[in-house]
Amino acid sequence: MNILVTGAAGFIGSYISRALIWRGDSVIGIDNFNDYYPRNCKEFNVDLLNATANNNLLYYSKDLINPVYTALDNFAQNVYKKSENPGSFKFYEGDIVDYEFLSKVYSENKIDAVIHMAAMAGVPYSTKMPRLYTKVNVDGTVNLLNLSKDNGISKFVFASSSSVYGDREDKKVTEEDDVSKAVSVYGASKVAGEVLCHAFHVIYGLPVVIDRIFGPIYGPLQRPYGMFHQRAINYLYNKKTIQIYGKKGLETAKDSTYIDDQVKGILACLDCNYDFEVFNIGTSDPKPIKIWIDTVEKAFDEKLKLEIIDVDKADVASSADISKAKKMLNYDPHTDMYVGVKRQVDVFKMMPDWYKTMEKV
Q: How many Å apart are CA 114 and CA 261, to the nearest integer?
A: 20
Q: How many Å apart are CA 249 and CA 44, to the nearest integer?
A: 34
In angstroms, the Cα distances linking 33 to 28, 92, 205, 325 are 16, 11, 32, 32
CB 222 within 8 A of CB 357: no
CB 23 within 8 A of CB 81: yes
Q: How many Å apart are CA 163 and CA 122, to the nearest integer?
A: 10
Give one DSSP letter per residue of 115-128, joined into a string. EE------HHHHHH
Kindly report the number of other CB atoms within 10 A of residue 323's CB atom: 14
Active site residues: 186
